[in-house]
Structure 1
Amino acid sequence: MEKELTVEKALNNNVVIAKDHVLDEVVLIGKGIGFNRKKGDMISLFDAEKTFVLTDKKEMEQYQTLIRHQDPELIEFLNDIIFYIESQMDQPLNEHIHVALTDHLSFAIKRAGSNIQFTNPFLFEIESLYPKEFQVAREIVNKIDHKLGIRFPEGETGFIALHIHSAITDRQIRDLNRHHELIALMIELIEENLDVKINKGDVNYNRLLQHLHRGIDRVNQDNLLGKEQSLKNVLKTTYPTCYNLAWKLVKVMQKQLNKPVHESEVLYLTIHLQRLTNKM
């Protein structure tokens, strides 16, 4: 049975906001779907090539404002990119990506055209922590280059990967950035206290990075590692430098996250720090 919706607003020739009694407002995308459409017109859901729902009213308002100030062909291309991400990640994306990534990419394209570039201080960490998202982001950068003749700087791949990760985990970009800033601060403390310069290409650095990342997630989610009293006594005696440094790092985590960190995190951090010093 053909499903019909009521047109609320045609944003351009290719994008229409329509009303559905179940889904509320639906964004319909398709070639010429908005041409001569007026509020109150009936439109078939099957006329659209793609659809998505923005249930958050603020997100919907931001999306409508964004569409009005962008080239319709660019919006069509950026919508294709978002649906490509969904197909590659093989899972639904949070609706906020339609506003956040569209806004980010349209601005990044303008920046690149004006030869303005931003560096990404967390590029290595993003690639290491979110490898699948980073690979899809690389493919997107190549698509933009092929379609628009614009080659993004390497750092932009990291920013796009963050948006993808944000959409599949339903976490805000600002929270992810705080997460990476905390990891960077802890790495700086490790280098300072052990008087070393860590090689980011080293496998033990990658393991440490993954552990810090998972440790922050555990604290945020109030998950605990198992209690290991016997392991604590061995590590404290055998590796006092790494054990004490691990405690310093945990105190930084507690302060930055404003949450208690279980003592078990100290033990596993000690092991990763010792691996790192052995390698050095």
Structure 2
Amino acid sequence: MFFCIGSDHIYITVKSLNNNLVLAHNDQRKEYVLFGKGIGFKKKKNDPIDESLITKVFQANANQDISALMENVTPDVLAVTESIMELGEKRMGKKLSASLLVSLSDHIQSAISRQKEGIELADSTLQWEIPFLYYEEANLGKEALTLIDNELGVKLPEVESAFIALHFVNAQDGLESMDETMLITKITKSMVKIIQSLFNVSLKKDSLNYSRFVTHIRYFMNRQLHNQEVVQETNQKLYDIIQEQYPKSYACSLMIREMLKREYQLDVNDDEMIYLIIHIERVVSETK
């Protein structure tokens, strides 16, 4: 995974990826991807980089080879990926993991190759589930397809917007792999299904409380998967009050806790239950 670091070395050009992206190494021969307006313009191998142009610096993990990762991605795809990332950060009002540059550009390059070779992806259930589970990211996925069409003249199938949306989800959560994102998506779907069934409602996917609820699930699952559960003393009095005040949401949270334990061997402590009950109550009340 890539991460942002400070610019405190002399950088030498390895390869200009496009006008705004350069593959470079420092004085210790470590490789980086550098962002900056015009930073790659007319840059040749071994040219020094003007540090005043650098706005972001990304370094790979020790076991990754940036050159190899970038070798199969064309400059125009990198350029449109950069534009999509900027759009995503603007729409969502937050910084996204720099790993998105590599994962998304690789995905877009593969999708374009499939399109040119006439290989069609079968419709996926994700195509219909993602807009419900991740409303904001799904819209970004659709906007990304429009950008790709406008910038590259390639009209990718609608199903690709769902996969692009998942890349945005992954970049926000800082997960290790897309497999983890897919697992969290599956679990979120199961939780939403329990809530809708018990309360006999269809949750409003574009509401603020729904967005907060799904975000809470993602962060909770991220902690669970990486054993980062916050250990703190549960406020038993508050827990008892919430049980009494929101009995149906409490019953729903118990069903979710049991499902997570039975199907995924995940434990939800009482402190997490408090937040889960409150989120359930809010999202259902808003729908009703």
TM-score normalized by the length of structure 1: 0.68
- Give the Cα separation in 2 of the matches to 1:190 and 1:52: 43
Which residue in 2 is equivalent to 1:5?
11
- Give the Cα separation in 2 of the matches to 1:264 and 1:11: 52
Report if aligned partners of 1:30, 1:47 keep a CA contact under 8 Å in 2: no
TM-score normalized by the length of structure 2: 0.67
Measured against aligned partners, the alpha-carbon deviations of 1:141-185 in whole angstroms (never above 9, x if no partner) come to 211111223333444333323323432442343333222211211
Report if aligned partners of 2:188, 2:217 keep a CA contact under 8 Å in 1: no
Measured against aligned partners, the alpha-carbon deviations of 1:34-69 in whole angstroms (never above 9, x if no partner) come to 4xx3xxx3423369787632232344x1x4224323
1:54 is the counterpart of 2:59: yes
Which residue in 2 is equivalent to 1:271?
281
Structure 2 gap ranges (5+) = 1-8, 224-228
1:77 is displaced (CA, Å) by: 3.8
1:90 is displaced (CA, Å) by: 5.7
Alignment of 1:80-229 (within 5 A): 80-83=83-86, 85-86=88-89, 91-113=94-116, 114=118, 116-117=120-121, 118-119=123-124, 120=126, 121-128=128-135, 131=136, 133-172=137-176, 173-190=178-195, 196=200, 198-201=201-204, 207=209, 210-211=212-213, 213-215=215-217, 217-218=219-220, 220=223, 221-222=229-230, 227-229=238-240
1:137 is displaced (CA, Å) by: 3.6
- Give the Cα separation in 2 of the matches to 1:96 and 1:25: 15
Which residue in 2 is equivalent to 1:232?
243
Measured against aligned partners, the alpha-carbon deviations of 1:90-143 in whole angstroms (never above 9, x if no partner) come to 654323112111111111222344251352253223443xx2x44444332211
Structure 1 gap ranges (5+) = none
1:25 is the counterpart of 2:31: yes
Q: 1:181 to 1:170 in 2, by over 3 A?
A: same
Report if aligned partners of 1:123, 1:155 keep a CA contact under 8 Å in 2: no
Of all paired residues, the percent bearing the same amino acid is 16
SS of residue paired to 2:11 = strand
State which structure, 1 or 2, has the greater radius of gyration over its C-alpha atoms. Answer: 1
Q: 1:229 to 1:100 in 2, by over 3 A?
A: same
1:229 is displaced (CA, Å) by: 1.6
| CA-based RMSD | 4.1
- Letter of the aligned partner of 1:116 in structure 2? E
1:248 is the counterpart of 2:255: yes
Number of aligned residue pairs: 258
Report if aligned partners of 2:242, 2:274 keep a CA contact under 8 Å in 1: no
